[in-house]
Amino acid sequence: MSTIVFRSPSRYIQGKGALKSIGVYIKELGQKPLLISDEIVWGITGDTITNSLATENLEYQYVPFHGEASMNEVNRIAEIGKAHSADIVIGIGGGKTLDTAKATADTLDVKVVIVPSAASTDAPTSALSVIYTDEGVFEAYKFYNKNPDLVLVDTAVVAKAPARLFASGIADAMATWVEARATIDSNSSAMAGGKVSIAAKAIAEACEQTLLQYGIPAYKAVQKGMVTRHVEAVVEANTLLSGIGFESGGLAAAHAIHNGFTVLDGDIHHLTHGEKVAYGTLVQLVLELHPHEEILKYINFYRELGLPTTLKDLHLENASYEDLVKIGAASTKEGETMGNLSPEITADDVANAIITVDQLSK
């Protein structure tokens, strides 16, 4: 029999104003927190966090994040953490900040708390980081022996982030069931290191259902900076359901193609993680031979959220066929998650599917 593996954070807290109580939760985990955040996010959250930590008499050290989840950045911050004798790392911000916080905590062998500033990716809950070069090219997945000790999501903060980031989170989360289903169908292993459990399958499916039901009204509320029940539901889907769903359910073509996109130069680098994953999800649906109506359902949903569904939207309208084959080659290389869909998919298959999505969207 195959072994199933299910992973999740130790604790997940979500709600409006949750950040005001961060000190109470941190005190249960450590005494000398190292805080990692970029200056923009720190400008929004810093006062609330430091007031809460000061109330609990916690000695904290703040380190500005320089923008790239690279090993050079991780090592730089870890040195500061050592000097502070940090016993817990808190990452506050977007996916790259959070991935850097996890890698720093792993380097220092201390606990980690994750505070997303936007519901823009499913990075917060997982026991892995996506590591890039200093120039922003995908390098590797870095795996850890445990998930975050706490994930704290303040929906008031998340709803004030740009609506484009919220839509990106929906796009990243919409890949969850599509990729988990492929992993199950091919009897492959998930990122968690084993076969997909009944629990992970149910969570991944619930993730997509939640997004299709509530995604559009939630997006419209976030455009006005409001927190509604639709927003709370979609934040949970983007963060918790998608996080557990991808890690314990598996990745396949959508994320492999996202990684493939990073090998090209140019304006595609200005797109978010989720925006590239959205197109990758459509490419996976084409590779899987889904009916036309099914693919159009996703295309129309993405369009309502302002997500890319054409090569022009990706700034790749002038890309050569050779460029698209380069994306295909990177997404089908040894060790990529494309194998969870099928190990027989070639670079040409991917290039042709990328063009097909563009044609269907037009």
Cα atoms found within 13 Å of the Cα of residue 193, Cβ hemisphere only: 8
Position 153 pLDDT exceeds 90: yes
Where do we find the tokens 């563009």?
Answer: 358
Confidence at 35, pLDDT banded by 50, 70, 90: very high
Question: Stretch 76-105: mean pLDDT, rounded?
Answer: 97
Examine residue 54 and state whether it is found in any structural domain, yes or no. yes
Q: Are residues 23 and 86 in the same domain?
A: yes
The enclosing domain of 152 has a CATH number of 3.40.50.1970
Predicted confidence at residue 257, as pLDDT, reads 98
Alpha carbon distance, N-terminus to C-terminus of the chain: 47
Predicted confidence at residue 1, as pLDDT, reads 65
Examine residue 4 and state whether it is found in any structural domain, yes or no. no
* Full-model pTM: 0.94
Torsion-angle region of 228 (φ positive above 0: left; ψ -120 to 50: alpha; else: beta): beta
Confidence at 239, pLDDT banded by 50, 70, 90: very high
Examine residue 3 and state whether it is found in any structural domain, yes or no. no
Q: Are residues 146 and 269 in the same domain?
A: no
Examine residue 299 and state whether it is found in any structural domain, yes or no. yes
Q: Are residues 77 and 207 in the same domain?
A: no
Position 286 pLDDT exceeds 80: yes
Domain end call among 160, 179, 195: 160
Question: Stretch 188-204: mean pLDDT, rounded?
Answer: 96
Predicted confidence at residue 2, as pLDDT, reads 85
Confidence at 289, pLDDT banded by 50, 70, 90: very high
Confidence at 138, pLDDT banded by 50, 70, 90: confident
Examine residue 215 and state whether it is found in any structural domain, yes or no. yes
Predicted confidence at residue 303, as pLDDT, reads 98
Q: Which of 112, 94, 92, 100 is nearest to 50 (CA)?
A: 92
Q: Are residues 313 and 329 in the same domain?
A: yes
Range(s) of the domain holding residue 153? 12-160
Helix axes of 273-287 and 292-304: crossing angle, nearest 10 degrees? 170
Position 273 pLDDT exceeds 70: yes
Q: Are residues 258 and 352 in the same domain?
A: yes
Give me the number of domains the chain comprises. Answer: 2
Domain end call among 160, 179, 200: 160
Q: Are residues 138 and 209 in the same domain?
A: no
The enclosing domain of 234 has a CATH number of 1.20.1090.10
Q: Are residues 190 and 106 in the same domain?
A: no
Q: Are residues 129 and 39 in the same domain?
A: yes
Backbone angles phi, psi at 146, to 5 degrees: -150, 155
Examine residue 6 and state whether it is found in any structural domain, yes or no. no
Kind plus residue range of the DSSP H or E element containing 26? helix 22-27
Contact between 248 and 282 (Cβ < 8 Å):
no
Examine residue 147 and state whether it is found in any structural domain, yes or no. yes
Strand pairing report for 33-37 and 61-64: parallel
Question: Stretch 191-216: mean pLDDT, rounded?
Answer: 97
Q: Are residues 252 and 279 in the same domain?
A: yes
Tell me the pLDDT of the chain averaged across its residues.
96
Predicted confidence at residue 121, as pLDDT, reads 87
Examine residue 190 and state whether it is found in any structural domain, yes or no. yes
Q: Are residues 134 and 283 in the same domain?
A: no
- Known catalytic residues are 172, 255, 258, 273
pLDDT, tens digit, for every residue of 50-67? 999 999 999 999 999 999
Q: Are residues 190 and 313 in the same domain?
A: yes
Q: Are residues 183 and 331 in the same domain?
A: yes
Domain end call among 115, 141, 160: 160
Predicted confidence at residue 137, as pLDDT, reads 87
Where do we find the tokens 């519901």?
Answer: 119
